[in-house]
């Protein structure tokens, strides 16, 4: 495992980070989830990402239990706040001071820890003044409940405004957590340049494009049983963006010779691809089985030669989504 600095901070995180969105507390039984966490630890992963909204808080509890007994100082635990939790009352969502201050306490209790290493705004809240949000995050840091603050799926302008307020309040934004893969590159045009300028890193989710870049979805064939595309709890909806694009499955199959040249699987190639971006500190991988973790960590430390990166671009062609406006669409206009 290799480690990278998170933004301009002194914090180092494992460049393969284990995340439990759509798995712990929903798709995967607790014993299997714990086995995946153990596999991650055995592979040298020290960074773990979750959120209060995952499985309506259950994912945090499962992760906290799985990490119980580990040396806390040797781990980097990330969680997030924004989406509705609990009974979903009027103040159970967003980035108001009330919701942030209550949510951090709930997350710490479920994770069985006194602090998280990184606390992230899971989306931008258009219904709360940014000043209120950043002041609440500043207080969370001063109280020692979070060591660092990040955001997720914020636009370049939102990151600039948040970073300026954070500086005034005596802390810094160190990260952004966007979707990023060889097929979804919407952060490259605006978010990455702004982040480089301001000292933020990307911790990217879905490096395998919801599983499309694993190559398991074959052109003209039925969707594999038990795959994300057949999961009506949320997986099928999230992968639809890619599966609906013409010829995308054919293009993915054409990547196999590229992966073979590097002695990688398609999934490993996809994870290694996002790590070639110097502004990416970590790629988040999820798993429903321990062997998936063991396989995906082989992407750590891989260097893809420039000529192969060019060939990947040529193969994927216009199947790649690059419009920066897609980032803004991920944050609801209202709660």
Catalytic residues: 54
Q: How far is CA 235 from CA 14, 15, 209, 238, 239, in A?
A: 26, 25, 12, 5, 6
| Other residues' Cβ atoms within 10 Å of the Cβ of residue 219 | 11
What lies within 8 Å, CB to CB, of 318 at 6+ separation is none
Return d(Cα 130, Cα 123) in angstroms, integer: 12
Chain mean position to CA 183: 16
Look at residues 153, 176, 182 and name the one whose alpha carbon lies nearest to residue 271. Answer: 182
Return d(Cα 190, Cα 116) in angstroms, integer: 29
| Other residues' Cβ atoms within 10 Å of the Cβ of residue 333 | 8
Assess contact for 108 and 116: CB atoms under 8 A: yes
Return d(Cα 157, Cα 334) in angstroms, integer: 18
Q: Tell me the Ramachandran region of residue 26: left when phi exceeds 0, alpha when psi lies from -120 to 50, beta otherwise.
A: alpha
Return d(Cα 64, Cα 190) in angstroms, integer: 35
Return d(Cα 222, Cα 34) in angstroms, integer: 31
Assess contact for 1 and 16: CB atoms under 8 A: yes
């Amino acid at each position: 495992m290799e480690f990278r600095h998170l933004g301009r901070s002194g914090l180092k995180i494992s460049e393969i980070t284990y995340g439990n969105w759509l798995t712990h507390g929903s798709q995967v039984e607790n014993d299997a989830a714990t086995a995946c966490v153990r596999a991650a630890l055995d592979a040298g992963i020290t960074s773990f990402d979750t959120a209060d909204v995952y499985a309506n808080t259950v994912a945090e509890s499962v992760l906290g239990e799985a990490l119980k007994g580990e040396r806390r100082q040797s781990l980097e635990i990330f969680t997030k706040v924004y989406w509705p939790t609990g009974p979903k009352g009027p103040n159970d969502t967003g980035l108001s001071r009330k919701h942030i201050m209550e949510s951090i306490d709930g997350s710490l209790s479920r994770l069985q820890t006194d602090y998280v290493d990184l606390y992230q705004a899971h989306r931008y809240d258009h219904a709360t003044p940014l000043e209120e949000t950043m002041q609440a995050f500043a207080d969370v840091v001063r109280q020692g409940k979070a060591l660092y603050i990040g955001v997720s799926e914020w636009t370049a302008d939102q990151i600039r405004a948040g970073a300026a307020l954070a500086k005034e309040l005596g802390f810094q934004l160190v990260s952004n957590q966007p979707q990023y893969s060889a097929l979804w590159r919407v952060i490259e045009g605006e978010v990455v340049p702004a982040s480089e300028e301001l000292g933020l890193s990307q911790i990217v989710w879905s490096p395998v494009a919801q599983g499309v870049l694993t190559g398991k979805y074959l052109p003209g064939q039925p969707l594999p049983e038990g795959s994300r595309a057949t999961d009506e709890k949320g997986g099928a909806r999230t992968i639809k963006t890619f599966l609906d694009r013409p010829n995308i499955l054919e293009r993915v199959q054409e990547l196999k010779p590229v992966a073979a040249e590097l002695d990688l699987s398609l999934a490993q190639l996809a994870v290694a691809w996002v790590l070639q971006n110097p502004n990416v500190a970590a790629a988040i991988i999820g798993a429903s089985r321990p062997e998936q973790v063991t396989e995906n960590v082989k992407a750590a430390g891989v260097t893809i030669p420039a000529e192969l990166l060019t060939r990947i671009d040529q193969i994927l062609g216009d199947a790649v989504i690059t419009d920066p406006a897609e980032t803004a669409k991920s944050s609801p206009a209202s709660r």
